[in-house]
Amino acid sequence: MLTRRSLLSGAAAGVLTPKTKAAVEDLPLRQRAAKSGRSYGCAAGSYQLRDADFAPVLAREAGVLVPEYELKRLIVEPTPGHFDFSGADVLIAFAAAHGMTMRGHTLVWYAANPDWLEAAVLAAPDEDILTGYVTGMVQRYRGRIQSWDIVNEAIQPDDGRPDGLRDCFWLKRYGPSYIDHAYFAARQADLTAQLVYNDWGCEGGEAWNDRFRATTLKFLEGALARKVPIDALGLQGHLAAFHGSVNQRKLRAFLDEVRAMGLKILVTEHDVDDSGGPSDIAVRDRAVADASARFFDVVLDNTAATDVLTWGLTDRYLKAPGGLRSMLSGYTPRKLPLDANLKRKPMWYAMSQALAAEHGIR
Ligand code: G3I
């Protein structure tokens, strides 16, 4: 589908002389995004900063960092009341040294929790194990983490609740209001941080995606009606190149409704699963780039969408899925903008083009 963006970006590319086009094309993603009033960044692990080849590339390409793992409660509070911020603090120091902003991921989730947490929540006499943790974390990083995924993946229509919420232990103990109370606590702890509700499942065209989108809209409308301080929707953006695909019409309509609520839109965890494709790497890389381009052709046409993060920068640290088939095929994932040798892939160029195009009129 020809959109205003694809026309503009095509035209822009057309009027550039080969020299300036080459110079523009060579801009790192963080600079390319900044030129169009957006930001680009990625998830990282503190262990990756010890890779002398990778650290400078990360500083060159990313303007925003989010810990893939080290701000999850499993790492932060391995035993009750004992905290380990070491991994997150290394990433925050790196971001500060390289003029990056930080995202925090995530404070209230049904997964990546320490073994002791669920039983403690279900037996909790009050909300402190929820709101006290949110308050402490947001206060600790006030001024150093500018945007937070306070609650992650609280929606799951397949759990059969009328409100479509995930029937997790947080909800079992506190009811649906656990979500509201987490955001109120975060806002009280930091008056300026961007508070994001982060989820997946809104990108595709299948019936379950339709249910996910409808439930997400209903959830956001209800929360905003209760004055819950949610500033933005985090669209995770985990796509697949060879199974399922973005439904541009449905995604566009969904994001228009999110924007109409006055919310910002962030792409928080973009990557493109290339499993199930042919062994020909060039074909897989092209399919990944095309899936990414189709996604951003819609998302970045929405004026509320300005921040884009990929769930990693390079394939170097991706682990092959388990299983004999994967082992026998020698498959290694190629889901991210740079390959394992830190070379730019077609996905990098597709994202560079997408980030360059003007905002839409939507
Ligand atoms: O670091 C330990 C290592 O020391 C240990 O030997 C190994 C064996 O258990 O585990 C390693 O930790 C793993 C960690 O990733 C770091 O690689 C955990 O087992 C593993 O569960 C963890 O998975 C992460 C998952 O979230 C759960 O936290 C993935 O890396 C991460 O990509 C994934 O990210 C999620 C987002 O947070 C939410 N949205 C979906 C997204 C993808 O699933």
* Positive or negative: CA dihedral 4, 7, 10, 14: negative
| Residue owning tokens 């303007």 | 63
148: β partners = 104, 195
For a pocket test of ligand 1, which of 46, 68, 313 has the largest count of ligand atoms closer than 8 A to its C-beta?
A: 68
271 lines ligand 1 (CB under 6 A): no
Q: What is the pLDDT of residue 327?
A: 72
Least confident of 25-34, 110-119, 216-225: 25-34
Kindly report the protein residue whose alpha carbon is nearest to atom 36 of ligand 1. Answer: 68
Kindly report the protein residue whose alpha carbon is nearest to atom 37 of ligand 1. Answer: 68
For residue 344, give the CATH number of its domain: 3.20.20.80
41: β partners = 64, 309
Q: Region 29-51: what's the mean pLDDT?
A: 97
Domain total of the chain: 1
Residue 253: CB atoms within 10 Å:
12
**Distance of alpha carbon 298 from alpha carbon 359, whole angstroms:** 10
48 lines ligand 1 (CB under 6 A): no
The yes-or-no verdict on residue 356 having pLDDT over 80 is: yes
The yes-or-no verdict on residue 8 having pLDDT over 60 is: no
How do residues 260-273 score in pLDDT, each as one tens digit? Answer: 999 999 999 999 99
Instruction: Calculate how far, in angstroms, residue 245's C-alpha sits from the geometric centre of ligand 1.
Output: 25
**Residues 6+ away with beta carbon under 8 Å from 92:** 102, 141, 144, 145
**Distance of alpha carbon 123 from alpha carbon 125, whole angstroms:** 6
| Per-residue burial over 114-134, b = 16 or more CB atoms within 10 Å of its CB, e = otherwise | beebbeebeeeeebebbbebb
Q: What average pLDDT does the chain have?
A: 93
**Residues 6+ away with beta carbon under 8 Å from 232:** 147, 194, 195, 196, 197, 263, 264, 265, 266
Instruction: Calculate how far, in angstroms, residue 69's C-alpha sits from the geometric centre of ligand 1.
Output: 6
The yes-or-no verdict on residue 193 having pLDDT over 60 is: yes
The yes-or-no verdict on residue 187 having pLDDT over 70 is: yes
The yes-or-no verdict on residue 195 having pLDDT over 60 is: yes
The yes-or-no verdict on residue 105 having pLDDT over 90 is: yes
| Residue owning tokens 């110079």 | 23
Kindly report the protein residue whose alpha carbon is nearest to atom 12 of ligand 1. Answer: 69
112 lines ligand 1 (CB under 6 A): yes
Residue 266: CB atoms within 10 Å:
28
Q: What is the pLDDT of residue 36?
A: 92
3-state secondary structure the chain: CCCHHHHHHHHHHHHCCHHHHHHHHCCCHHHHHHHCCCEEEEEECHHHHHCCCHHHHHHHHCCEEEECCCCCHHHHCCECCECCCHHHHHHHHHHHHCCCEEEEEEEECCCCCCCCHHHHHHCCCCCHHHHHHHHHHHHHCCCCCCEEEEEECCECHHHCCCCCECCCHHHHHHCCHHHHHHHHHHHHHCCCCEEEEEECCCCECCHHHHHHHHHHHHHHHHHHHCCCCCCEEEECCEEECCCCCECHHHHHHHHHHHHHCCCEEEEEEEEEECCCCCCCHHHHHHHHHHHHHHHHHHHCCCCCEEEEEECCCEHHHCCCCCCHHHHHHCCCCCCCCECCCCCECHHHHHHHHHHHCCCCCC
Q: What is the pLDDT of residue 129?
A: 98
Q: What is the pLDDT of residue 11?
A: 46
103 lines ligand 1 (CB under 6 A): no
Kindly report the protein residue whose alpha carbon is nearest to atom 2 of ligand 1. Answer: 69
pTM confidence score: 0.93
Which residue range forms the structural domain that includes residue 68?
4-359
Kindly report the protein residue whose alpha carbon is nearest to atom 34 of ligand 1. Answer: 68
The rounded percent of the chain whose pLDDT value lies above 90 is: 86
How do residues 81-101 score in pLDDT, each as one tens digit? Answer: 999 999 999 999 999 999 999
69 lines ligand 1 (CB under 6 A): yes
Instruction: Calculate how far, in angstroms, residue 303's C-alpha sits from the geometric centre of ligand 1.
Output: 33
How do residues 134-173 score in pLDDT, each as one tens digit? Answer: 999 999 999 999 999 999 999 999 999 999 999 999 999 9
Q: Region 307-321: what's the mean pLDDT?
A: 95
Calculate helix-pair angle for 281-299, 346-356, nearest 10 degrees. Answer: 20
The yes-or-no verdict on residue 352 having pLDDT over 70 is: yes
